[in-house]
C-alpha cells in the first residue's frame, strides 16, 4: 500500500489520499451510470496495466542499474582512451623536444657538406693540374725524343759524310803517301826517344 501511495502525485499524505479517493469515486460513478461497462477487455487491460506497472516498478531499478553500468563502462573506456591519447601526445612532445638540436646538427652538417664540396673542388683542380702536367711531360718527352732522333740522324749523316770524304781521300795516292810519310815520321820520333 505504501508503494501505491508513493507512486501517486502529491507532496503529502492528505493530497495523495484525496487523489486516490477522487479516482475511485469517478470510477464508481462511471460504472454505476453505465458510462463504463466492465467486461473481459477491461479485465485484460487492468491485468496488462498491473503487469506493466510491476515491470516498471521492479524492473526499472534493475534496468537503471544495468544502463548505469553500461554508461560507466563506456565512460571508463573513453577515459582510458583519452588518457592513452594524452600519454601518446606527451611522449611525442618529449620526442620532438629531443629533436630540438636538429637545427644545430643540420647547420653543422651543412658546414661539413660545404667544406666537402670545397675539398672536392680543390681535389678536382689538383687532378686537372696533374693531368696537365702529365700531358706537358709527355709532349716534352716526345720533343726530347724527336730532338734526340734528329741529332742522332744528323750525327749519322755527318759521320757518313766524313767517312765518305775520308774514303774518297784514301783513294787519292797522294794523300796515302802523305799519311804514310807522317806515320813513319811519328814512329821514328818515338823510337829515337826510346
pLDDT tens across 29-69, in order? 887 887 767 778 888 888 999 899 888 888 888 889 999 99
Total domain count, the chain: 1
Within the chain, strands assigned E span none
Give the separation between CA 93 and CA 83, rounded to whole angstroms: 15
**In a domain? residue 19:** yes
Please write the tens of the pLDDT for every residue from 115-128: 999 999 999 999 99
Give the separation between CA 175 and CA 168, rounded to whole angstroms: 10
Report how far apart the first and last C-alpha atoms of the chain are (Å, whole number): 180
**In a domain? residue 173:** no
**In a domain? residue 8:** yes
**In a domain? residue 105:** no
**In a domain? residue 131:** no
Domain that holds residue 30: 2-100
Please write the tens of the pLDDT for every residue from 125-167: 999 999 999 999 999 999 999 999 999 999 999 999 999 988 8
Give the separation between CA 81 and CA 90, rounded to whole angstroms: 14
Torsional class of 120: left (φ above 0), alpha (ψ -120 to 50), beta (otherwise): alpha
Give the separation between CA 46 and CA 92, rounded to whole angstroms: 65
Amino acid at each position: 500500500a505504501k508503494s501505491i501511495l508513493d507512486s501517486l502525485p502529491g507532496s503529502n499524505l492528505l493530497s495523495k489520499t484525496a487523489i486516490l479517493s477522487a479516482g475511485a469515486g469517478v470510477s464508481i460513478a462511471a460504472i454505476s451510470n453505465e458510462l463504463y461497462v466492465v467486461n473481459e477487455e477491461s479485465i485484460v487491460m487492468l491485468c496488462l496495466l498491473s503487469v506493466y506497472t510491476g515491470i516498471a516498478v521492479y524492473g526499472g531499478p534493475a534496468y537503471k542499474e544495468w544502463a548505469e553500468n553500461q554508461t560507466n563502462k563506456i565512460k571508463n573506456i573513453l577515459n582510458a582512451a583519452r588518457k592513452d591519447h594524452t600519454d601518446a601526445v606527451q611522449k611525442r612532445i618529449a620526442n620532438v623536444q629531443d629533436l630540438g638540436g636538429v637545427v644545430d646538427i643540420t647547420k653543422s652538417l651543412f658546414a661539413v657538406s660545404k667544406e666537402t664540396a670545397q675539398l672536392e673542388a680543390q681535389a678536382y683542380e689538383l687532378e686537372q693540374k696533374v693531368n696537365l702536367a702529365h700531358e706537358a711531360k709527355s709532349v716534352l718527352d716526345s720533343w726530347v725524343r724527336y730532338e734526340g732522333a734528329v741529332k742522332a740522324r744528323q750525327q749519322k749523316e755527318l759521320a757518313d759524310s766524313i767517312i765518305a770524304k775520308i774514303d774518297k781521300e784514301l783513294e787519292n795516292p797522294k794523300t796515302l803517301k802523305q799519311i804514310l810519310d807522317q806515320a813513319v815520321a811519328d814512329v821514328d820520333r818515338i823510337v829515337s826517344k826510346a
